[in-house]
Every structure is written in structure tokens, then in C-alpha cells.
Structure 1
Amino acid sequence: MMMVRSAYDKKKDDIHFEYWQRCRYLPEDKLIALLDHDNFELSLEAAASLQLRGGSKIIRLAQMDSFSNRYKRRALAAFILGQIKLNTKEEKISLKILYDLALNDQSAIVRSYAVSSFGHRCEKAKKKYADTLLSLAQSTVLDKSVMVRVSTAFALSVFKNRASIPLLIKLLKDTHSEVKNWAAFAVNVNNYDTPEIRNCFVLLLDEKNFEARFEAIIGLAKRQDKRVTQILIHELSQERIYDEMVEVTAYLGDVSLLPTLYQVKDKFGTFKELNTSIKVLEHL
């Protein structure tokens, strides 16, 4: 997914690194104690360390915590169960727990982590649980929480199945830009293409959220939809341009982009994506 980094993002990364450094060498009992820390981000980093270390003790703890009366422990349990190494029996139990949390937990953050983790488990199992995930997503695309709908879009990105398309179209029409962003990412990463998807992408060209707009621009260009030509010309005329947008001009195959690409060359010099796109368009 396209990420635009800000000073806020960098600060978050610095804090994340600080917490990672704090947790990486702690013994297991100290990490478990941190799961109850007031700082949820620190607790999440402790959970990530426990998830990475794995083992039956941590699996049992996460499975028990999924029934905790504290929502934070349920959320961390769902997170841990998403990518920890499980045997067949443990996986069966954990998937049932995640499914139930995703549908029924009162806390939106718990439901969100449960949906994402179910997606991770589906990805690890090489689509084995794809039908179950699709069944789950039928409900979670309608969840009142933006976080849960974002997680649903992410979960649908982890495997290719055209049965996902109607669900992703619902998410592309969501009222929240971050949901639409992740839905567009899921569509693009799996190369889905229908007239309705293209029309949804055209509507996303007016999004204020740059990342959602970016996914739509890239998606339309790769699908050779000329409705994106003028938008690409505008974006490539800015002071800050993105290699991916230069690259997809070759997919779009519209020679009216050549003057803009020549201007990019004059302004920024040559680079691989630019040279390739100019060469492709000059030979059309």
C-alpha cells in the first residue's frame, strides 16, 4: 500500500522502535506483566514479542484472555492468535475464538483485531479458510465501527477470490476514506477488474485522502481506463511526484501523456520508470 510519511508518522515510528527495544530482551513473565500496562501501544509491543516467541504457554494465555472481562486483554489476545505458530488443534480452537470475537464482542477494537487476525490465519493457511473468512466478512463489512470495516478490507486483501468483489465494492462505497483506501488496495493487490470497480475508482479520484486517491489512480491506469489521464497529468506536474505514477503511464498507454513525461525528465532527470514509460509511449 502507498504510504505518505509525515512528521507524525516518523514520531510514531520512533516510539514504536523505543518500545521494541524495551521489550526485545525481556523475559516472558515481564512481557506478560506489560499486557496490563496503561499504555496500550507498549502492551501491543509486548504482545508482539510474545507472539514471535510463541509456545504452548502463550497460546493458552491468549486463548484464556479472549474471555477476559477487560477489553484490552481480549484485543491483545486476538492480536497474538493472528500470527503465532499453532498446531492443528490449537488453530481450530483459535479460529473459533477469533470468529466469535469478530462478530460478537462489544468492543470495536477487539472486533477489529479479531478480523485482522482471522485474515492473517487465512493467509498463513494458504486460503484454507477463505470461505469462512468470506462468511465472516459478509457481516463485518456492515459493522458500525470504521476500525472493523478497515480490518475487513485488509482481511479480504490476503487472498484472491472473486467472491470477494461484491464485498469490496461495498467497502469502496463506504463513507470513511480509510475504509475505501484499504478496499482499493485489496482490489489492486488481487487485480480484480469489473466495470463497477472502475466506476468506484473514478469516484475515488475526488477523495481528499491521498492514499485512497493514489490507489484509484494506479488502479485505473493499470486497467487502461483513460478517465484517469488528466488526473495523471495533473499529479505528474506537481513538485512532488511518485515513481509508481510515472510507471503506470506505460500501462495506461495514452500518448497524450508524453509531453508531461518529457517535462518530468527535464525537471528531475532520467530514472528507470520514466525511461521505460517514455519508450513504451513513443512506440505506440
Structure 2
Amino acid sequence: MMMVRSAYDKKKDDIHFEYWQRCRYLPEDKLIALLDHDNFKLSLEAAASLQLRGGSKIIRLAQMDSFSNRYKRRVLAAFILGQIKLNAKEEKISLKILYDLALNDQSAIVRSYAVSSFGHRCEKAKKKYADTLLSLAQSTVLDKSVMVRVNTAFALSVFKNRASIPLLIKLLKDTHSEVKNWAAFAVNVNNYDTPEIRNCFVLLLDEKNFEARFEAIIGLAKRQDKRVTQILIHELSQERIYDEMVEVTAYLGDVSLLPTLYQVKDKFGTFKELNTSIKVLEHLKSKL
């Protein structure tokens, strides 16, 4: 079942749309002026418009702003350099700038955006900068800022490289739930699997943060780790359930989940994921 959007989330989306509408048709010089606006979210939307439009002038501005004595302009510079279209020379310079900001900037928010943008650049280049990203992440997994560690987990998610696993395990053991959430996402999206990863996921089953717990449940089920069976039974007995949790019961392959799936069918009716999982588990049961 789909998660109901909160009034807070809807308000955020409405504000974002308002700022997007405000910026979309502005000329370049007006957008550049908005980079100094007191409202950071509006400045960020202006930066997003500049990033999308691209061009050598905006690239040079972002590269220069990365050395600004105003941290907000360094944040926006790091953001712009993350996904703006660059030629080979511009990319080489921009990656060095982002690397240095991620490691050395005094502002945690600048470091955070720089790590995220470095990840985006690596995603665009596939595995070209894998070694450089891993080198950067060796330091940023230990950053005192939660958001830097969160964005490190994101950056490690952008392409599959098993050398990332030790770093992601560190992040799975982080003290902050949002870091663990993104680390679990990175593990799942790249289908990494080791005994230590599974053990970390088992510990995440007790997380208060639903997103981190969700990633652990899905991850353990897809890895056919039956330590998640009772948790799945509990989650599928709630008033609100999630399609993904129904779907992964087929991966888990534990026929003891069948009575729970029948209850889901009685309560919510049939749907694709449920029908498939029931069919798979009934077939497995027939072979016992």
C-alpha cells in the first residue's frame, strides 16, 4: 500500500513548486542575483535553474564561488558543479574543487554538498572515478557531521564496487539512524551480501527510524535470511502495509508466511505483488 503524504510534505512540495515557477523564466543575471537571497531554498532553486541551463559562464562562476569567503556561495557552487554539463577540462578542475571542499571546508553543509556532488559526478562518469571516490570516502565516513556521512553513503550507492563494502559497514554501525538508512540503501541498491552486512541488518530491525528498518527488512528478505520472518509477519499484520514487504516474501521463501498473506488478501483484496508471493510460497509448500 502507498504511504500517505503528510501535510508537512505537501507544504514542502508546494513551496518548492512556487520557487521553481518563480525561477524558471528568469534571465541568467536575475538568477545569479538570487544566489545572495536571504531565503536559502529560493537561492538553491535559482542554482538548480542555472545548473540546468549550464554554459561556461555559470561553470566559471561556480568554480570561483567555491573559494568565496561566504559559506552559502560555496554551498551553491558545490551544488551547481555536481550535475552541470562539463567538458573534460572543466570536469577535472571541478572534481578537484569538490574533493578539496569535501575534505577541508570548515562548514559542514559545504562539505556535505561537496560529497553529494562528487557522487553525482561519479555517477555520470560510471566507474571512471571509483578509486577517487573511495579515497574521499575513507575520510568522510569519519566526518563529525551527520549530513556529510549521510551523503557519503549516498555517494557510495552510485555504482557497484565491492571495495565500498567495508566503508558501508562502518556507516551501517553509525550512531545516527539516517546514516544507517542511507548505508542500507547503498548496500541494497548494489546487492552487496556478506555475513557482516546481514548481521548489521538484523541489528537495524530494532531501529526506531522506519526507513532504516524498512531497508533492513527488504535486504534480509531478498538475501533469504529467515531471521526477518517474524518481523515481516508483524509488519504485514498492521493497518498500513507496503507493497515491497509483500513482494519480498516471495524472495524469502518461508512458507510460514502464507497464513499472514491470506490475511492480507482478506483485508485488502488481491493485487499483483500479493498474488505472486502467494503463488510462489504455495508452490514451495507443495514440494515439502
Q: TM-score with structure 2 length normalisation?
A: 0.97
How far 1:8 sits from its partner (Å)? 1.6
State how 1:39-118 maps to structure 2 within 5 Å: 39-118=39-118
The percent of aligned pairs where both chains have the same amino acid is 99
Contact kept in structure 2, 1:246 and 1:273, CA below 8 Å: yes
- The residue that corresponds to 1:240 in the other structure is 240
CA deviation profile, 1:150-203 (whole Å, cap 9, x unmatched): 000000000100000000000000000000000000000000000000000000
How far 1:36 sits from its partner (Å)? 0.3
Contact kept in structure 1, 2:2 and 2:242, CA below 8 Å: no
How far 1:11 sits from its partner (Å)? 1.3
- The residue that corresponds to 2:140 in the other structure is 140
How far 1:6 sits from its partner (Å)? 2.5
- C-alpha distance in structure 1 between counterparts of 2:24 and 2:238, whole Å: 42
- The residue that corresponds to 1:130 in the other structure is 130
- C-alpha distance in structure 2 between counterparts of 1:67 and 1:230, whole Å: 53
- C-alpha distance in structure 2 between counterparts of 1:127 and 1:6, whole Å: 38
How far 1:14 sits from its partner (Å)? 1.1
Contact kept in structure 1, 2:2 and 2:243, CA below 8 Å: no
- The residue that corresponds to 2:26 in the other structure is 26
The alpha-carbon distance between structure 1 residues 4 and 199, as it changes in their structure 2 partners (threshold 3 A), is: farther
- C-alpha distance in structure 1 between counterparts of 2:6 and 2:102, whole Å: 31
CA deviation profile, 1:36-92 (whole Å, cap 9, x unmatched): 001111100000000000000000000000000000000000000000000000000
CA deviation profile, 1:217-247 (whole Å, cap 9, x unmatched): 0000000000000000000000000000000
- C-alpha distance in structure 2 between counterparts of 1:177 and 1:240, whole Å: 22
- C-alpha distance in structure 2 between counterparts of 1:4 and 1:190, whole Å: 28
Q: TM-score with structure 1 length normalisation?
A: 0.98
CA deviation profile, 1:124-162 (whole Å, cap 9, x unmatched): 011100100000000000000001000000000001000
- The residue that corresponds to 1:196 in the other structure is 196
Contact kept in structure 2, 1:232 and 1:245, CA below 8 Å: yes
State how 1:210-225 maps to structure 2 within 5 Å: 210-225=210-225
How far 1:255 sits from its partner (Å)? 0.3
The alpha-carbon distance between structure 1 residues 145 and 246, as it changes in their structure 2 partners (threshold 3 A), is: same
- The residue that corresponds to 1:120 in the other structure is 120
The alpha-carbon distance between structure 1 residues 272 and 196, as it changes in their structure 2 partners (threshold 3 A), is: same
- DSSP-derived class of the 1:256 partner: helix
- C-alpha distance in structure 1 between counterparts of 2:3 and 2:24, whole Å: 26
Deviates more, 1:33-42 or 1:6-15: 6-15
- C-alpha distance in structure 1 between counterparts of 2:98 and 2:258, whole Å: 51
How far 1:10 sits from its partner (Å)? 1.6
Deviates more, 1:11-20 or 1:48-57: 11-20
Contact kept in structure 2, 1:4 and 1:211, CA below 8 Å: no
Contact kept in structure 1, 2:243 and 2:273, CA below 8 Å: yes
The alpha-carbon distance between structure 1 residues 135 and 178, as it changes in their structure 2 partners (threshold 3 A), is: same
- DSSP-derived class of the 2:143 partner: coil
How far 1:2 sits from its partner (Å)? 10
- C-alpha distance in structure 1 between counterparts of 2:115 and 2:172, whole Å: 18
Contact kept in structure 2, 1:2 and 1:211, CA below 8 Å: no
Contact kept in structure 2, 1:141 and 1:149, CA below 8 Å: yes
- DSSP-derived class of the 2:175 partner: coil
- C-alpha distance in structure 2 between counterparts of 1:264 and 1:34, whole Å: 51
How far 1:4 sits from its partner (Å)? 7.2
